[in-house]
Copies of this chain bind each other. A is one copy, B any other.
């Protein structure tokens, strides 16, 4: 899945806000900083959980997660009242390769 420079820039933009980066890191680590991971399904957390201790309004949280989703980094799916979120491992792996030298 080859990406254009613009698409990759979109992904980095999604991670360029400290709040969004924290949300992303929580999904990557599968648990809030300093806490033990406890989610229903492996690697998935609902929107509300992701905003814990981040001191942002629910509407802002929703907006940020939508941005991460739009950029292709995070997938979402409603499950009852909640909406589960998880990182797309393939996309994340591709991003990691961006920082390997000698890449073509």
| Interfacial residues, chain A to chain B (CB-CB below 8 A) | 5-6, 8-10, 12-13, 15-18, 20-22, 25, 28-29, 89, 92-93, 95-96, 98-104
Do A104 and B9 touch across chains, with their CB atoms under 8 A apart? no
Residues of B within 8 A of A93 (CB): 99
| Chain B residues positioned under 8 Å from A5 (CB to CB) | 18, 21-22, 25
On whether A16 and B12 interact (CB within 8 A), knowing A92-B101, A100-B96, the answer reads yes
| Residue pair B6, A12 in contact (C-beta under 8 Å) | no
Contact B18 A9, beta carbon cutoff 8 Å: yes
Are B9 and A17 in contact, with the CB atoms below 8 A?
Answer: yes
Collect the chain B residues with CB atoms within 8 Å of residue A6's CB: 18
